[in-house]
Amino acid sequence: MTEQRTDSFAQIKALLARRRGKKAPEKRRLQVSDVNVVDKAMLKKAVGGTVVGNTMEWYDVGVYGYLAVIMGQVFLSDAPSNVQVLFSLGVFAVTFIARPLGGVIFGRLGDRLGRQRILAMTLILMAASTFLIGVLPNYDTIGFWAPILLILLKLIQGFSTGGEYAGATTFVSEYAPDARRGFFASILDLGSYFGFAIGAGVVSVMQLILSSEEMVEWGWRLPFLVAGPLGAIAIYFRLKIEESPAFQATMDAQENKTEADVAAEGPKGTRALIRAYWRQIVLAIALVAAANTVGYALTTYMPTYLTDSLGYDAVHGTLLTIPVLVAMSLCIPLTGRLSDRIGRRPVLWIGAGSTIVLSVPAFLLLGVGEIWSTLAGLALIAFPVTFYVANLASSLPALFPTSSRYGGMGIAYNVAVAIFGGTAPFIIEGLLQWTGNDLTPAFYLIATSIVGAIAIFFMKESAKRPLPGSMPSVETDAEAQELVDTQDTNPNIDLDELPFPENARA
């Protein structure tokens, strides 16, 4: 019925134009040459090159999270134990203060210079700062300079990480075919949580081999020092990847634009970008806040919670989370593939709804204090994380056009992570100590997921559709031909939204 009305309206418009002596403008048609056919070899290389960076980032998050108690003892040895724990979690939270700045700077550079160059730069900074933490003198050696230097290096980490995730998700989303973007983008988070599990595994091995005194004395350094060779390998792979086709097409189009075209196109500068896309930025912040609160509660806070609140020794507090993280990592591509089939919004609804329903039972099970109940509680927290994170990587880039995608993502993602994600362990521990109620963390997770659910309600479906500002992307020449043949009836193609020259000026 809607199609008939649209056709009738077009006929009336053409008739009026003829009566006025004007020829009705012909609508630009999609041609096979307009459709991007993905180079599978380059796609694999792009996914691999970005995954190694995300793995590196989360390796550091895992190492620091599982060494939080020890880091407090090393860098604030004169303080009471509860202050040491809050200091360690506070340093972790401080890291995220620098992320929005890194997101803004690297985001704008990524939209101007290209995704690949900036992703290489962020990885170098990240690996170097992680390695340097491993050689820092402790509090007993240089006094208050020890925690100051630790905070400084964590700020550098945060600054570089601010450009990492936004750039990686943008890069892979622009490389992936429209029909499988959810699957390929979700592989980034598979690498992320495997990196966390690797960090947890390295710390666990050290704790099994060394005594508690040796871990505090020198053993804590080794997991950070491992970041050196790991970072070198990751940088090598990242330098091998090429620029994304969508961004390259935008750059090629820039060369043919007149001064009037350039003046009429998208926003310039951070303030202009925020004014132009503030609705998308608000939606992205709400989604990231909901997902990362429960995500960081599982990955970074749980080791401290199991050790400090539930009385597990440091080794068991680490080991118990590893099987849950590995199982969750393996499931992430499955939920990414599911979003390609049923849509991003339904899968994100599952993430928000299951957080609201399962958070209280999860912490009740954790409170039992048995190994089986602890594993069950951790699994209930991991379930919504699997549905959340696997789809952020494909949902968020689809909120912004190609020319402003890295910048918009850099602002929205890092502001949300700085306020809600990185501070989640610190806020949860503070609320727990303030209220004395073991269910306080569950209520906090529920509150953030209610906000996330509201954002999902207002979000547009993006599965199987071209990214804003990009032409359709498919896997084979046959799919490209089929897309052209069905362009008038395909619900995932809107010719008025494709970046033809006449649409770009509109």
The 10s digit of each residue's pLDDT in 299-352 is 778 877 787 777 777 677 777 888 888 898 889 999 999 999 999 999 999 999
Mean pLDDT of 249-255: 57
Contact (Cβ atoms closer than 8 angstroms) between residue 106 and residue 137 = no
**269 C-beta neighbours (distance < 10 Å), count:** 10
Quote the pLDDT of residue 262.
45
CA pair distance 182, 443, nearest whole angstrom: 30
Confidence of residue 15 (pLDDT cuts 50, 70, 90): low
Mean pLDDT of 202-224: 87
Is residue 110 scored above 50 in pLDDT?
yes
Confidence (pTM): 0.78
CA pair distance 393, 340, nearest whole angstrom: 13
Q: Which residue has the higher pLDDT, 396 or 69?
A: 396
Quote the pLDDT of residue 382.
93
Contact (Cβ atoms closer than 8 angstroms) between residue 175 and residue 38 = yes
Mean pLDDT of 370-385: 92
Domain ranges of the chain: 40-243+276-475
- Torsion sign (Cα): 377, 381, 384, 390: negative
Average pLDDT, the chain: 81
Report pLDDT digits (tens) over 88-102: 878 877 777 787 888
Superfamily of domain 40-243+276-475: MFS general substrate transporter like domains (1.20.1250.20)
Q: Which residue has the higher pLDDT, 87 or 266?
A: 87
- The HSE-up count of residue 62 (CA atoms within 13 Å, CB side) is 29
Report pLDDT digits (tens) over 260-307: 444 444 555 778 888 889 999 999 999 999 998 898 888 778 877 787
Is residue 403 scored above 60 in pLDDT?
yes
- Torsion sign (Cα): 444, 300, 135, 139: positive
Q: Which residue has the higher pLDDT, 252 or 396?
A: 396
